[in-house]
Amino acid sequence: MKRLLYIITNLAFVCVCLLLLWILAQVFVFASFRIPSDSMSPELREGDFVLVWKPIVGARLFNLNKSLNLEQTDIYRLPGFRKIKRNDVVVFNFPHPNDWNRIEMHIMKYYIKRCIGLPGDTLSIRKGMFKVKGVDMPLGNVASQKHIGLTRPEDFPEGVYRCFPYDSLLDWNIKEFGPLFVPGEGDVVKMSRTGGVLYRKLIEWEQGKKMYIKGDTVLLNDSVITSYQFRKNYYFVAGDHGENSQDSRYWGLLPEEYIVGVASRVWKSVDSYTGDICWDRVWKKIE
């Protein structure tokens, strides 16, 4: 009887240790996410399971209970091997889980997109093509962008053509967009009407205050502001299937601390119709 109790106790101890190791690995080392749509096709397909190595850009630490309750919580990132680069495919907490007019984080709602613009970039879309000032490299899925550039406005599905910031004076769309400055920590932006329209959600999120735009005057609560110095880094992200992707073209810039990490491999892929494993995609490098 004592020997049986000893074996059971040791097995329970091993199981608890393995569970703790698994939890720690999920927090600090890796995470897996299933691709639910074709917004990243052809690079990623619906049914792909992608592996994110968190040490690449550093794992995050935050109050899980607060994030589940959609409360603002401080997020700390451990040192990583490198910074996020243009064309990295990143997994992130969607910053607008309930309302596109304010930034929130919900730990259970994830998106995956390609990074197009980094902090400090000035980004535009011309004839459907992504352009970053001073950068010559191709950005995103060029074929999809060319197709968008050749499509007439009236031929886009409803709700696809017009985009952020949905302002009648700027009148941006997915063929002609920007220029939009992507702010980083310490960057100062003039607060005119245009600045207020473009950065209101970011500033309200950073400050925890309401912003009002009255003509060309911008107020933060009751105080008039003529410029603003950002506290955080932001990114512009977009899907490879540009005609069917809910991304920064529609909801704006992504806070750095919402980024889980860089997707590196497809570790499993399941055909969405048959349920069969797509062996030709297993351990495919994401590019």
Residue 128: CATH number of its domain: 2.10.109.10
Residues 6+ apart with CB under 8 A from 278: 45, 47, 269, 270, 271
pTM attached to this predicted model = 0.93
Query: Per the domain annotation, does 185 fall within a domain?
Result: no
Q: How far is Cα 287 from Cα 143, in angstroms, rounded to an integer?
A: 15
Total of domains in the chain: 1
Q: Are the CB atoms for 60 and 257 separated by under 8 Å?
A: yes
Query: Per the domain annotation, does 136 fall within a domain?
Result: yes
Q: Give the model's pLDDT for residue 53.
A: 87
Q: Give the model's pLDDT for residue 23.
A: 67
- Provide the 3-class DSSP secondary structure of residue 269: strand
Query: Per the domain annotation, does 195 fall within a domain?
Result: no
Q: Give the model's pLDDT for residue 101.
A: 92
Q: Would you say how long the chain is, in residues? A: 287
- According to DSSP, residue 164 is labeled T
3-state helix, strand, coil split of the chain in percent (to 5) is: 25, 30, 45
- Provide the 3-class DSSP secondary structure of residue 243: helix
- Residue 124, token pair as written in the block: 């535009």
Range(s) of the domain holding residue 265: 33-178+235-247+256-285
Query: Per the domain annotation, does 196 fall within a domain?
Result: no
Q: Are the CB atoms for 205 and 211 separated by under 8 Å?
A: no
Taking the chain (287 residues) in consecutive chunks of 10 residues, what is each chunk's mean pLDDT? Answer: 75 79 70 93 95 91 79 86 96 92 88 98 98 96 97 95 96 97 98 96 96 94 96 98 96 96 94 90 95
Query: Per the domain annotation, does 145 fall within a domain?
Result: yes
Query: Per the domain annotation, does 214 fall within a domain?
Result: no
Cα angle at 84 between 80 and 90, to 5 degrees? 105
Query: Per the domain annotation, does 137 fall within a domain?
Result: yes
Query: Per the domain annotation, does 28 fall within a domain?
Result: no
Strand partners, 89: 114
Q: Give the model's pLDDT for residue 115.
A: 98
